[in-house]
Structure 1
Amino acid sequence: MSSPTSTTTSVVLESVDSSLWIRLNRPERRNAFDAEMCAVMVDALHEATEYRSVVITGSGGSFCAGGSLGQLSQPTVKELRGLYRSSLELFDAIRTCPRPVVAAVNGAAAGGGNELVVACDLAVAARSATFGQTGPRVGSSPVSGATNVMGVQIGEKRAKELSLLCRRYPAERAYEMGLVNEVVDDELLEESVRSLCREFEALSPRYLEITKVSSNIWWNSARDSFSNGLGMLVQAIGSADMIEGAQAFLEKRKPQFPPAE
């Protein structure tokens, strides 16, 4: 049975069997997250010990479009520094959560949404889901997972292909690359994830946590890269490339970036 445990404007928390489901709830912007949404999710992940697993998914046919780009077209250092910091805190909370975290990818996982999949322990995708990075296309860079840890997951050349070319990939291709564990028909996604989560009920929470923490070796090794990359992004706030990329995205047109210096 499913029952809401907490609801905000932008995030819905539900108890489903023995799992905590975290549902991003800003479908009008494809569930792009802001600092407030990240804070709600971080708190929920820190308090998830009463559950046997955690699921992150989206509402309205989208998984997550990453960080909200509305701020990038008229950027302030304070706001964007907060968004960058909140994104990293969210990904760290997923990795340090004592329970397995599963991404139920029900639509587009773009930009930071794709990095959200990278951060999760397991991922199940609906057949209609798509995956890809957006950084250089929108005047940013995917420094919190895609330029480092994703290379461990799917191979360096494939990770650079995603990060540099900003292509979109169907779910079956994401499965072939190793970005997700399973692809199922759209209408079977939530039941398939619930079935996966029920498998955790037969396992020791104590030793699942030990196994998960031990598996974080590559994430922990890349942690300095995250911080350095975010520091460089902060220094680029307000650049012509950032503003043009964000405005083009919001206006749904091809960006016209200035010539390389």
Structure 2
Amino acid sequence: MTAIDVERRGTVVWIRIDRPERRNAYDLEMARAMTAAVEDAADADAVVLTGTGGAFCAGGALNRLDDPDPEALRALFTGSLRLVDAIRACPRPVIAAVDGAAAGGGNELVVACDFAIATRRSTFGQTGPRVGSAGVLGATNMLAVQIGEKRAKEMAMLCRRYTAEQALAFGLVNEVVEDGGLADAVERWITEIRALSPRYLEIAKISSNQWWHQSGDNMNAGLGMLIQAIGSEDMREGARAFLEKRAPDFRGGRRAPASPEEVRP
């Protein structure tokens, strides 16, 4: 069981991430299932990506980063890149329907989608340097096009959390709706999409991917750096802290600066 529910509602494909016990963080099998579902939706009018249990998505699962399997983690990283690329390559509009937290790689899924609608209780943000990683698949490159370089660096590097209203003001989401009103809002957007030419929507979407494609080399380079950093002490400490629900101590094992007494001749 992949914990990815794919449902066709008429001419719309709904992809629902269903691992609420870990805030819908995805593993490799789930990433592959989402990618396949997006690729299989080329004949739909639209695709909706959403989560269950009060969360959108917490990105890639961190449960084994304290003792990582390099090959498995490499596969998850590259699978994540294939997923966001599939969202961008899909000829149909992909809507992120966000109800709850979109964090880390989940926030990057919002970046990859064409449109995003969020409930008021939703939150957004990256987790990278806080948990021993970096958001190289959207947050450190494409996000700057969407919300501006300074704000994107703030989000990607400082790992702050932002409300749905803040995300709307930044330009990360298109609309904020009352809690409980997400399905109706998505249907309203889909009704508008259905009135448009699928052929010319596809042309408009693929043409608008210019900045995404220009970020491609940067994403691949960042992915390579993440792979080289697999097993680093920062990765292990970040994962341990996350699993133990405590603040990470990335500098605890490093020698403190010498005191004045130590440097006296």
- What TM-score bracket applies, with the shorter chain setting the length? over 0.9
1:222 and 2:193 matched: no
> What does 1:1-261 align with in structure 2 at a 5 Å threshold?
8-258=1-251
SS of corresponding position for 2:29: helix
Q: What one-letter code is carried by the residue in structure 2 that aligns with 1:74?
A: D
Query: What residue in structure 1 maps to residue 261 of structure 2?
Result: none
- Deviation readout 1:73-120 (Å, 9 max, x if unpaired): 110110110010000000000000010000000110000000000000
SS of corresponding position for 1:218: helix
Query: What residue in structure 2 maps to residue 4 of structure 1?
Result: none
* Distance (whole Å) between structure 1 residues aligned to residue 66 and residue 76 of structure 2: 14
Deviation at 1:71, TM superposition (A): 2.1
* Distance (whole Å) between structure 2 residues aligned to residue 186 and residue 166 of structure 1: 25
* Distance (whole Å) between structure 2 residues aligned to residue 94 and residue 254 of structure 1: 34
- Deviation readout 1:101-159 (Å, 9 max, x if unpaired): 00000110000000000000000001100000000000000000000000000000000
Q: TM-score, normalised by structure 1?
A: 0.95
* Distance (whole Å) between structure 1 residues aligned to residue 22 and residue 186 of structure 2: 25
* Distance (whole Å) between structure 2 residues aligned to residue 205 and residue 71 of structure 1: 42
SS of corresponding position for 2:176: strand
Deviation at 1:197, TM superposition (A): 1.0
Q: What one-letter code is carried by the residue in structure 2 that aligns with 1:130?
A: T
* Distance (whole Å) between structure 2 residues aligned to residue 61 and residue 254 of structure 1: 24
* Distance (whole Å) between structure 2 residues aligned to residue 190 and residue 166 of structure 1: 29
Greater C-alpha radius of gyration? 2
* Distance (whole Å) between structure 1 residues aligned to residue 213 and residue 46 of structure 2: 22
Whether contact under 8 Å (1:91, 1:116) holds in the other structure is: yes
* Distance (whole Å) between structure 2 residues aligned to residue 120 and residue 147 of structure 1: 16
* Distance (whole Å) between structure 1 residues aligned to residue 2 and residue 203 of structure 2: 35
Whether contact under 8 Å (1:18, 1:198) holds in the other structure is: no
In the TM superposition, structure 1's runs of 4+ consecutive aligned residues that sit over 3 Å from their partners are none
* Distance (whole Å) between structure 2 residues aligned to residue 33 and residue 71 of structure 1: 12
Deviation at 1:16, TM superposition (A): 2.2
* Distance (whole Å) between structure 2 residues aligned to residue 94 and residue 157 of structure 1: 26
Q: What one-letter code is carried by the residue in structure 2 that aligns with 1:107?
A: G
- Deviation readout 1:171-194 (Å, 9 max, x if unpaired): 000000000000000111111011
Structure 1 unaligned segments of length 5 or more: list them: 1-7
Deviation at 1:14, TM superposition (A): 1.1
Aligned length: 254
Query: What residue in structure 1 maps to residue 263 of structure 2?
Result: none
Whether contact under 8 Å (1:18, 1:201) holds in the other structure is: no
Whether contact under 8 Å (1:240, 1:258) holds in the other structure is: no
**Cα root mean square deviation, aligned:** 1.1
Deviation at 1:50, TM superposition (A): 2.4
- Identity within the alignment, %: 60
